[in-house]
Structure 1
Amino acid sequence: MSLPYFDASAVRAAAPWMTAVQALERALLDGVDPEEDSPRLFSPAPGGEFLLMPASGRRYSGIKALTVAPGNPARGLEKIQGVYVLFESETLAPVAVMDGTELTAIRTPATTLLAVKHILAAAPGGAPTAPRVVVFGAGVQALNHVRAAHAVLPGASLAVVGRRPERVQSMITKLAAEGIRVDPAGVTDVPDADIVLCTTSSRTPLFDGGLVAPGAVVAAVGQHGLGAREVDAGLVLRSDVVVEGRASALREAGDLIPARRAEEWEGIRPANLRDLVSGELKRSPGKPCLYAGVGMAWEDLVTAAVVYERGTRS
């Protein structure tokens, strides 16, 4: 038998935002431990590099194989492309292949909004009923973070900050056609935001961390690697901090390591996603909360299993 293949549209149809968020939440409550996740593997490739992300689970296991080609955008091609191969854990027999790029485009915002939802719920005064959300970025991840925020945070007002006004306007127009209202914004809107989502490829801080309001939530998820950062050390030091996984953060969260040494973070032991959904986060009154995400293989596996069990093969 040939393996079923789920293309980008099939992946998207099988994992709407709330389905993806709930699947990730359920996996964490059912025993998935981010600290046991496999580290991602990098290997040189012509014109870029390979990125391999394996993960194991009780029922399914899988691996995402991506290529990163920095020169592709100039050719009108995607910088990151790849596939996901899903296996049955008991026999290690492959059961499906699916579009890995679209899988990433879903699981990243779903994980971010899962974290934001629980961080808001842990606020001393409770979550705002109509939060003001400011998204930095105008690429695919920014677009999908807006879509996910619209689904997970009904009643939220949405605004986008980007370096290129034409890309911001294109994004606003595209979302308007989907029934999602988004306004253009700037750094000056940060102090009024309840939630700031950083989804860019910037390697330097996007704004002065002192602008963030007490009690606000900031998610920095657009970059990984110890040389990259979307927020400054000032924000890190004045915030409660939540990470996807402590080990993965020490390996790749450049937003955190310059602010404190690895040994300090090991002593602080910030809450990870499992702690967060289990209700173990205790937020400090008057402090922002920073969520730092780098992307983890267990999230791909959970989402791929949803696609396989709910989706229609291409």
Structure 2
Amino acid sequence: MQILDQDQTVHALPYSRLVPAVAQAARELSTGTIIAPERQVVTIDAASVLLSMPAIGSDISVTKLITVHANNAKHRLPAIQGEVVVFETATGRRLALLDGPTVTARRTAAMTLLGIETLARGQPASALLIGTGTQAVAHADALIDYFGVQRFWIAGRTLASAEALASALRQRHPGLTVQAMVAEALKQEVPETDVIIALTTSTTPVIPATISGDTLAIGVGAFKPNMAEFPPELLHARQIIVDDRDGAKHEAGDLIQANVDWTTVFGVGDVLSGKVPRPAAIPVFKTVGQAAWDLAAARVAIGV
């Protein structure tokens, strides 16, 4: 059995291979070829949960086990820890153990890339990232790697947090144009950009209600019913595409709170498989995560 640490898992999951693999998994989930029930959430304590996410494919299968301990900073440990167990479907033979947080970060960013590739007008040249955490870093790296994006706006709760990420990105990617701003300022003025990506755990909308018709807005961070990144006005004004419709109905707080008409909400796999036509106008894209995307990452990592 292969055991890949964090760095080895990163190198095993290049976006050039991961995005097509996630697209294939989305089609298979849409047609029922991949079986992936909703994730099980078990409370450990008031600030901690265990997440279990299985997915069964015809070739290989995975189970991702993640623990989230919100108070781990006082122990000098990461809040999110875990692993992805990969096994042969036909026999149960263990094939690999991958770093769970790395798989999550990269497959989540890959789904965003797929959403842009499928739903945007064209290849983006600029992006506004709302949020300054791990997913913001992963998404910036992914947009640079896959699309060659060279201009970013980083919106944080404070200017200091936005400046810190902007500085880190400039050091990682010399020549990058990055402007830091306070997220609150988006209520007055929104930069002209190709893509807006929210990567927060906010309980109030952070994506502006009014954006250009040429801008694709993507909500990544809100994954609980009490969270919301999209404003209701924007959700009711545009077609809504999600990564996983079943999961979104229980976890996408912004959609739930906006009382969207679920008969008009479709999964990106439905679009890719031809079940529904591609939206004529630019929609909004909401992701909540799915074990099928971990399965896609496992296929890439072990070369299936």
Could you state the TM-score of these two structures normalised by the residue count of structure 2? 0.89
Aligned residue identity for 1:32: L
Question: How far apart, in 1, do the equivalents of 2:300 and 2:108 lie?
Answer: 15
Counterparts of 1:21-32 in structure 2, within 5 Å, are 21-29=19-27, 31-32=28-29
CA 1:273–1:301 in structure 2 vs 1: closer, same or farther (change >3 Å)?
Answer: same
Aligned to 1:113: 113
1:32-83, Cα deviation, whole Å (9 max, x unpaired)? 3287531000112255111100110011111000111111134432111111
Question: How far apart, in 2, do the equivalents of 1:234 and 1:299 lie?
Answer: 30
Aligned to 1:253: 252
Assess if the C-alpha contact under 8 Å between 2:244 and 2:289 holds in 1: no
CA 1:34–1:15 in structure 2 vs 1: closer, same or farther (change >3 Å)?
Answer: farther
CA 1:115–1:130 in structure 2 vs 1: closer, same or farther (change >3 Å)?
Answer: closer
Aligned to 1:271: 266
State the shift of 1:4 in Å. Answer: 2.3
Assess if the C-alpha contact under 8 Å between 1:72 and 1:79 holds in 2: yes
Aligned to 1:283: 279
State the shift of 1:5 in Å. Answer: 0.9
Aligned to 1:304: 298
1:84-111, Cα deviation, whole Å (9 max, x unpaired)? 1111100012221121011111111111
Assess if the C-alpha contact under 8 Å between 1:115 and 1:276 holds in 2: no
Aligned to 2:17: 19
Aligned residue identity for 2:247: S
Question: How far apart, in 1, do the equivalents of 2:116 and 2:132 lie?
Answer: 20
Aligned to 1:219: 218
Assess if the C-alpha contact under 8 Å between 1:82 and 1:101 holds in 2: yes
Aligned to 2:146: 152
Counterparts of 1:74-89 in structure 2, within 5 Å, are 74-89=74-89
Aligned equivalent of 2:137, options 118, 139, 143: 143
Question: How far apart, in 2, do the equivalents of 1:145 and 1:27 lie?
Answer: 20
Percent identity between the two aligned chains: 27
Unaligned 5+ runs, structure 2: none
Assess if the C-alpha contact under 8 Å between 1:197 and 1:218 holds in 2: yes
CA 1:165–1:105 in structure 2 vs 1: closer, same or farther (change >3 Å)?
Answer: same
User: Alpha carbon RMSD of aligned pairs, Å?
Assistant: 2.1
Assess if the C-alpha contact under 8 Å between 1:119 and 1:276 holds in 2: no
Q: Does 134-143 or 74-83 show the bigger shift? A: 74-83
State the shift of 1:207 in Å. Answer: 4.1
Question: How far apart, in 1, do the equivalents of 2:149 and 2:221 lie?
Answer: 25
- 2:258 partner SS: coil
Question: How far apart, in 2, do the equivalents of 1:99 and 1:298 lie?
Answer: 16
Aligned residue identity for 1:184: A
Aligned to 2:41: 42
Aligned to 2:7: 9
Aligned residue identity for 1:169: E
Question: How far apart, in 2, do the equivalents of 1:34 and 1:234 lie?
Answer: 32
Assess if the C-alpha contact under 8 Å between 1:21 and 1:114 holds in 2: yes
CA 1:159–1:79 in structure 2 vs 1: closer, same or farther (change >3 Å)?
Answer: same
Unaligned 5+ runs, structure 1: 121-125
CA 1:207–1:98 in structure 2 vs 1: closer, same or farther (change >3 Å)?
Answer: closer
- 2:97 partner SS: strand
1:147-197, Cα deviation, whole Å (9 max, x unpaired)? 111122235522211113333222222222222512224515535222100
Aligned to 1:123: none
Question: How far apart, in 2, do the equivalents of 1:118 and 1:95 lie?
Answer: 32
Question: How far apart, in 2, do the equivalents of 1:155 and 1:98 lie?
Answer: 28
Aligned to 2:94: 94
